[in-house]
Amino acid sequence: MITSARSDVHATITGLGAYAPERVITNEELSQLVETSDEWIIERTGIRERRIAADEQALSDICLPAARTALSQAGLDGKDLDLIVVATVTPDMMFPSTSALLADRLGAADAAAYDLSAGCTGFMYAVAQAYGMVAAGLVQRVLVVGGDVLSRILDWSDRSTVVLFGDGAGAVVLEPSAEPGFLAFELGADGGGGEHLWLPGSGSRLFAEPDRFVKMNGREVFKFATRVLVDSARAVLDQQGMRVEDVDVYVPHQANVRIIDHATKKLGIPSDRVVINVDRYGNTSSGSIPLALADAQVDGRLRAGRLVLMTGMGAGLTWGSALMRWTIGGAA
Could you list the active site residues? 120, 253, 283
- Backbone CA torsion sign across 257, 261, 267, 271: positive
Those residues with Cβ within 8 angstroms of residue 183's Cβ, 6 or more apart along the chain or in another chain:
4, 5, 240, 323, 324, 325
- Strand 2-4 to 182-189 pairing: antiparallel
Q: Could you tell me which of 286, 22, 292 has the C-alpha nearest to residue 148?
A: 286
What is the three-class DSSP state of 11?
Answer: strand
Other Cβ atoms less than 10 A from the Cβ of 180: the count is: 16
Q: Helices marked H in the chain — which ranges?
A: 27-30, 38-45, 59-74, 98-106, 122-135, 159-162, 218-239, 257-267, 278-281, 288-298
